[in-house]
Amino acid sequence: MASETTENLPSSSGTAAAAGAARPESPQVSYAALGFGGAGFLLWALGWFVLIPDHSSQLGWILEVLGPLLIAAALIMFIESLVLRIGKGAATLGILGSIALGFSTLPFGTNPANLESSSWVAVGYALYGVGLVAGSGALLLVLARKESALAKSRPPCPSGCTCREMIHSSFTSITIGAIGLLTWGIGFLGLAVEPSGAGASFEWILAVVGSLLVSIALTMHFEHLGNRYGRWAIIIGIASAFIWSLGYLLQAVNPQALPTSSWYGYLFLCYGIGHLLTAVTMVLVVRRKYILEH
């Protein structure tokens, strides 16, 4: 039985198929979607950098809203391919999760004074947690789709066809990624109940563990991602995830810190660097796509 889900793509000849296999495949993402995604992560990063010296900067918090929403727009632009590869349910959950991340900072974008309100801070944490849990749900649906596809008997690809894997990730990496996002999300949902205080240390530790598991899942899938999107792009993307974990670890050390405190500046710095590196990843993917297509 094949180890991955495949689709048959007609080719003019076996020789052409072999030649195509020798050349790296261009990333199957449009320039527009990559541009929106890269712009989203860049604005997200700039927002955190603006907030480091002034946690009450309305501009900074507005950028925190716009960034994730641009990423959601990029996913919507890529929806046809996403649905084909991972299914409508998983794609929808991924988009809704990104929108929830954007809405998590909306109370502060509309009025930065809401940072002083524990209720609004709790709402922000809750929406962020919901976004992460939605991402976990999307991966679980991908896992179920992969298992369902493997359970079906499929004939081998006929001569003269190239076989494109639909879900390349292993069961292990998808499972670890889903558990990571779920753990990460539960941590933020816990912070919605207790935004600060000694007891919040456990929730921040959950965020550390969850984000590390996501980093590990990406690392396990490095070979395929590197071949498709470029090794440096993926190395930088994985590094960004580890940097988020560092920020959460700092918060676990000082869980009493509030969003208005100077200590949160360290978390904002890690967020900013992490999202900026992800934007760089997008630029490298665009560069690779252009080189392979010209």
258 pLDDT higher than 50: yes
What are the two backbone dihedrals, phi and then psi, of residue 266, each rounded to the nearest 5 degrees? -65, -40
Domain positions in the chain: 29-151+168-293
Residue pair 291/36 in contact (Cβ under 8 Å)? The answer is no
Task: Give whole-number Cα distances, 12 to 159, 160, 162, in Å.
Answer: 11, 7, 10
Instruction: Give the DSSP H/E element, type plus range, for residue 194.
Output: none
What gap in Å lies between CA 161 and CA 96, rounded to an integer? 36
Please tell me the pTM assigned to this model.
0.81
Q: Which two tokens stand for residue 225?
A: 């991602």
Task: Give whole-number Cα distances, 288 to 223, 253, 274, in Å.
Answer: 16, 40, 21
Work out the angle at residue 200's Cα, subtended by the Cα atoms of residues 125 and 271, and round it to the nearest 5 degrees: 50
Residue pair 27/289 in contact (Cβ under 8 Å)? The answer is yes
Of 221 and 22, the structure prediction assigns the larger pLDDT to 221
Residue pair 60/51 in contact (Cβ under 8 Å)? The answer is yes
pLDDT in the model for residue 24: 64
pLDDT in the model for residue 230: 79
What gap in Å lies between CA 66 and CA 110, rounded to an integer? 12
Identify the CA nearest to 168 among candidates 269, 259, 86, 71: 86
What value does the mean pLDDT of the chain take?
82
Under DSSP, the state recorded for 257 is -
Percent of the chain topping pLDDT 70? 82
What are the two backbone dihedrals, phi and then psi, of residue 71, each rounded to the nearest 5 degrees? -65, -40
Of 67-81, 114-128, 162-176, 253-267, which has the strongest mean pLDDT?
A: 114-128
HSE-up of 168 (CA within 13 Å, CB side)? 14
Neighbours of 48 (CB within 10 A): 24
Residues 92-123 pLDDT 10s = 999 999 999 999 999 999 999 999 898 999 99
156 pLDDT higher than 60: no
Residue found by looking up tokens 């816990």 in the block: 190
What gap in Å lies between CA 154 and CA 156, rounded to an integer? 6
